[in-house]
Every structure is written in structure tokens, then in C-alpha cells.
Amino acid sequence: MISGLRGTLGVLAAIFWKGMKHYLRYPGSLLIYLMLPFLFTMLIFGMGRFIGGGNAALNFATRTGTSNVLVYEMLGGAVWMTSWVVVEDVGVALRDEQMKGTLEQNFLAPVNRFTLLIGISLTDIAITTAIFLVVVGATLVFTMPGAYLAFFQAFLILLIGLIPLFGLGFFFSGFVIKFKEPYIFTQMVNLIFGTLTGTYYPVTILPYWVQFLSGVLPQTYVISNMRQIILANQTLVSLYGSIFILLALAVVYPTLGYLVFKKLEKDASVTGELSKY
Amino acid sequence: MLPVNYPSINGLNRLAVEFKAAFMKDLRSYLRYPAWLIGDLISTPLWFFFFAVGVTLFAPTTQTSEYHGFSFFFFGFIFIVLFSTTIWGVGQSVRNEQMAGTLEQFFLAPANRLTLIVGRWARIFVTDLLVVGYTTGLLYLFGGGPLPLYEPIPFTFALGLFEVGSIGFGLFFAGLTMKLKSYNTLSNLVFFGYMILTGALFPVTVIPMPFRYVSLAIPFTYFIDLMRHAALLTPTILPESLEYVTAIIVAVVMFLVGLTTFNWIEQDARIRGSIATN
């Protein structure tokens, strides 16, 4: 088993570059991640203009507290895309290895499973950072050019929010190895995340029991905090309550996710389910 | 040599047998993985809910929608489901066979390509109708009210034109998959372009003027406009009779262009030896 700081860093770097090479070889998937928030926002805005007519922006401001529709929607869309990337990549990465017939080689390599999962996650930190910089950065440059400090704080929140998200990714990873058929599953999970976390609306308009489910998802806090910081002049300090919850989730989700992954992986190795089909 | 994608010389019976075989083969594949059906049943109403809640932020506090707001969106949603059949059903059928390693057998079979692809389309169309029906019932139970359909016969006719045109478009895309192999980026962009530009979810009059010309140049805009007109009695873009004539001509042209392109790309791929997975 490769151990020690230098060995572990070498493994992480190798897995990271493997993931980056994949993205660079197929730039179309990154392009889609960058474009989807803009396209979804255009759709929602077009539908909103139709139903709200000349008062659409005013109605929106009454319900959300801001008339800046574009920034409000793009922040939600960007965070949704980051969770989409994590679910698709971390959750499906090992299934892809199964399909290519390379999962066994990966698992036989003298590398800790946790290091393997962290390595996959590192690529996603780079990709989600790119999504955030392009989607939110471009939106703010054109609509709120002086908000660079708020932008930086929002980015920090994204980084904190990625930790519990990777925990969810570990969980999905194990689930997919065990039950195969990841694509329908990830599509549903992404949609459920988009709906529950207030991607294009405040979660307060959802029924109470749904808000409870929203409250256990890290993206809900990330989106809400980003909107507070960029659109309502709040700071990381003033939002300490929800930052604390986010930090707590950052401990709980990776721990639980890894435990579930290990359990499902062990079961699969006992029953011989690590195969392709 | 007789082009393989034109109607078989052995008559309609043979076409019917081929169609049934293709339909049943795809149905069996679909039912073999219950996750697909469960996924459709959950994600279809959830997509509608996701968009509907987002749009309510813009709605006036008093309900004064000009064209039955809820029904307008719901029909738009149906048009999106139907188009997804074109892109990911018909369009990706060839790629699916490539990935499963059965494309060569598929092309070597003494059967008409078109019938086989239409068989797949028919399976997806049937399951789409089931999912749309289920979603309609679900939304009714949640207080969405009944979905109006004022002129069912013109609606069915317009739906038929939509499907003829979309099969042609799907065949064009199926040909592209042989050229491009991984075409996910292109299919996603086309899908979103369709949702935004064809007036599926909002009238084309909402689209700013230079872009509206693009909308008016897309055939699907007219199919959708006619279906919505028949269902909700909304005004048509062109005078009604002229729009029907235009839609008929465009649907036939799309079908023929799609079929011809598919044939041409397949022949080219055979010559170049590029009918392979990678």
C-alpha cells in the first residue's frame, strides 16, 4: 500500500491529472456545464416574462427581495451545476471504470480507497471552480462590477459546500457500484437537488415538509448564503449560523458517505458484483 | 443496388413484421431495466414542478393569465418530452447499437433500416404518452385542474405533422452519430435551442426581435403553434390555413431530407469503414 505524504500526494496528482485529461479530451462536457446555467436562466426568464408581463421583475422582487433576476438565478444555476458535476463525476466515475473493465486494476493498485475517492474529487474542485468563475464571474462583471469582495466570499462558501457534496458523491459511488444503472439515478438525484435546494426560487415557498428535506442538503445553504452576500450585502461573519451548519455537514457527509461506500464495496466484493453487468 | 432505407420490395406485410419486431425488441430492453421506467415516472413530473415553481416568482398575485398559464406550460412540457424522443430516442438509436456492439448485426439484417428506427421511435412514443398521461393525472390530483383540448382532431393532425417532421430530424441526427460518434454536446445544445427558440414554453412574441426571426425559421415553431392553437385556441403565427399548408410541406421535406441524409452518411461510413464504436 502506498503510504506517506509524498506517496499519497503522488497518487492524488496522478488521479487528478487523469481526470483533467479526460475533461480536456472531451471539452464538450465542460462546455455544457458552463452553458446550462445561462440556458436554464433564459428559459425561466422567458417563461416568467410571459406569465408576469411588464410587471414580471416587480413580482419577482416582491417575492425574493431583489430585482436583480439575472444574478439571483445565475447563482442558483452555478451551484446546481457544481453539484451536478460532483454527482456525475464522483458518483459515476467508478461505474465508468467498471464499464471500461479497469475497476479491478484500480482496486488492486496499492492505493487506499479514500485516496482514490479524494483524487477524483480534486479534479472536480478544478472543474467546479472553473464553472463558478465563468458563470458567476461573467454575470457579476456585467451586472455588479464592483462586487469582487462579495464574489470572493461567495467562492469561499462554494469551497466549504463542496466538502459535504463530495461526501454525497462517495455515497453515490458505492450505490452505483452495487446497483449499476447510474444514469437514471444521477438524473433523478440532480433534479431532486435542483428542486429542493432553491436553485431558481427561495426554499421558503416550498411546503414545510419539503423545506425540512432542503435543510439537510448543503447546496441549500450555499445558494442562500451566496445570495445573501452578493445581493443583500451580508458577510461570512454575519452568516455564521448557516456557515456553522455547513461546516457540520462537511464533517457528517464525508464520514457517512465513506462508511456507506466501504460497506457497499465490501458487499459487492463478497458477492462478486464488482463486474461490469 | 437498391438503397436499403427505402420501402422493401416485399410489401407491407414484411414492413409490418419488421416494425413489430423492432418495437418489441425495444420494449423488452426498456422493461428489462425497471429503473428507466421508475426514473421517467419520477423525473417527468419533477421537471415540470421545478420549472413551474421557478416561474411562479414572476406571476402576478391575482391570476390573470392570458392563455391558461398552467395549461400553456404543461403543453409546452409535452412538446419538450416529444422532442426529447427525437433527439435521444431516434437520434441516438444508432449510437446505442454501436455501444452495445450490435450495429453491424443491425445493418446486416435483411430488414429495412427505416422500419427498425421507426419501431424504436414507436416504443418511445408509446411510453412517452403513458408518462405524459400519468403526469397529467398526478398534476390534476395536486390541483392543476383538467387539461383543455378544444379541437382534438386538428390537434391530432398537428401532432402527426410534428412526428413526421421529428422522425426526419431524428434520422438526420442518427446519421450524425455515425459521423460524430459522441454527440452529447450537440444534442444538448439543439435541445435547449428548441426549448428556448420554438415557443414551446412561451410564445415566440416574448423573444426579442432579431432572435425571433430565428424562431420563425425553425419548422418546429409552426408544429407547436398549431398544436397549441388546436388545444387552447391561442392565435396562430400565420393565418391558420396558410400555417397548416406550410407545416404539411415542411414536415414532408424534413422527413425526406432526414432519410436521404441518413442513407448518404451510412453509405459513406460503409465505404470508409467507419461503422464502429470508436
pLDDT tens by residue, chain B, 278 residues: 445 555 544 677 887 888 888 888 888 888 887 777 888 888 888 888 888 888 888 887 665 544 466 788 888 888 888 888 788 777 777 777 777 677 777 777 777 777 778 888 888 888 888 888 888 888 777 776 777 888 889 999 999 999 999 889 988 888 887 777 566 777 888 888 888 888 888 888 888 888 889 889 999 999 999 999 998 888 889 899 999 999 999 999 999 999 899 888 888 877 877 766 55
ipTM of the prediction? 0.82
Cross-chain residue pair B182–A28, CB shorter than 8 Å: yes
Please give the angle made by the CA atoms of A134, A138 and A140, to the nearest 5 degrees.
125
Q: Quick one: pLDDT at residue B63?
A: 55
Residue A180: phi and psi, rounded to 5, are 55, -155
Q: Of B219, B52, B14, B31, give the one whose Cα is nearest residue B135.
A: B52
CA distance B9 to chain A (A): 40
Question: Which has more confidence, B278 or A35?
Answer: A35
Chain B residues touching A49 at Cβ < 8 A: 58, 202, 206
CA atoms of B240 and A217, how far apart (whole Å) = 50
CA atoms of B129 and B123, how far apart (whole Å) = 10
Cross-chain residue pair A205–B58, CB shorter than 8 Å: no
Chain A residues touching B51 at Cβ < 8 A: 43-44, 47
CA distance A273 to chain B (A): 17
Domain ranges of chain B: 12-52+66-272
Q: Quick one: pLDDT at residue A98?
A: 75
Of B51, B58, B65, the CB nearest to A59: B58
Asked if A210 has any chain B CB less than 8 Å from its own CB, the reply is: no
Closest-CA residue in chain B for A193?
B50
Asked if B197 has any chain A CB less than 8 Å from its own CB, the reply is: no
Closest-CA residue in chain A for B193?
A39
Closest-CA residue in chain A for B191?
A39
Chain A residues touching B38 at Cβ < 8 A: 184
Q: Quick one: pLDDT at residue B2?
A: 45
Q: Of A206, A18, A220, A223, give the one whose Cα is nearest residue A111.
A: A18
Asked if A255 has any chain B CB less than 8 Å from its own CB, the reply is: no
Amino acid type, B34: P
Measure Cα distances from B37 to A94, A236, B81, B88, B129 in Å. Answer: 24, 44, 14, 15, 13
Cross-chain residue pair A181–B59, CB shorter than 8 Å: no
Cross-chain residue pair A200–B53, CB shorter than 8 Å: yes
Q: Decide: pTM greater than 0.90.
A: no
Of B39, B53, B57, the CB nearest to A187: B39
Q: Of B242, B43, B270, B267, give the one whose Cα is nearest residue A188.
A: B43
Of B46, B61, B203, the CB nearest to A50: B203
Sign of the Cα pseudo-torsion (B179, B183, B189, B195, in order): positive
Cross-chain residue pair A187–B57, CB shorter than 8 Å: no
Domain ranges of chain A: 4-271
Closest-CA residue in chain A for B67?
A51
CB atoms within 10 A of CB B239: 9
Chain B residues touching A192 at Cβ < 8 A: 46
What is the per-residue pLDDT across A46-87, written as a single tens digit (0 to 9) for each?
888 888 877 888 888 888 888 888 999 999 999 999 888 888
What is the per-residue pLDDT across B213-242, written as a single tens digit (0 to 9) for each?
988 999 999 999 999 999 888 888 989 999
A95 with A176: CB under 8 angstroms? yes
Cross-chain residue pair A43–B196, CB shorter than 8 Å: yes
B72 with B228: CB under 8 angstroms? yes
Flag whether pLDDT at A121 surpasses 60: yes
Q: Quick one: pLDDT at residue B10?
A: 60
Asked if B196 has any chain A CB less than 8 Å from its own CB, the reply is: yes
Cross-chain residue pair A46–B202, CB shorter than 8 Å: yes
By CB neighbour count within 10 A (0-12 exposed, 13-18 middle, 19+ buried), where does B218 fall?
middle
Chain A residues touching B42 at Cβ < 8 A: 188
Q: Quick one: pLDDT at residue B222?
A: 92
Q: Can you state the percent helix, strand and coil of chain B, rounding each to 5?
A: 75, 0, 25
Measure Cα distances from B145 to A224, B81, B133 in Å. Answer: 33, 20, 14
Asked if A46 has any chain B CB less than 8 Å from its own CB, the reply is: yes
Of B43, B54, B65, the CB nearest to A44: B54
Which residues contact residue B76 at a Cβ distance below 8 angstroms, ignoring those fewer than 6 apart?
Answer: B200, B201, B202, B224
Residue given cell 406550460 in the structure block: B73
Q: Quick one: pLDDT at residue A126?
A: 87
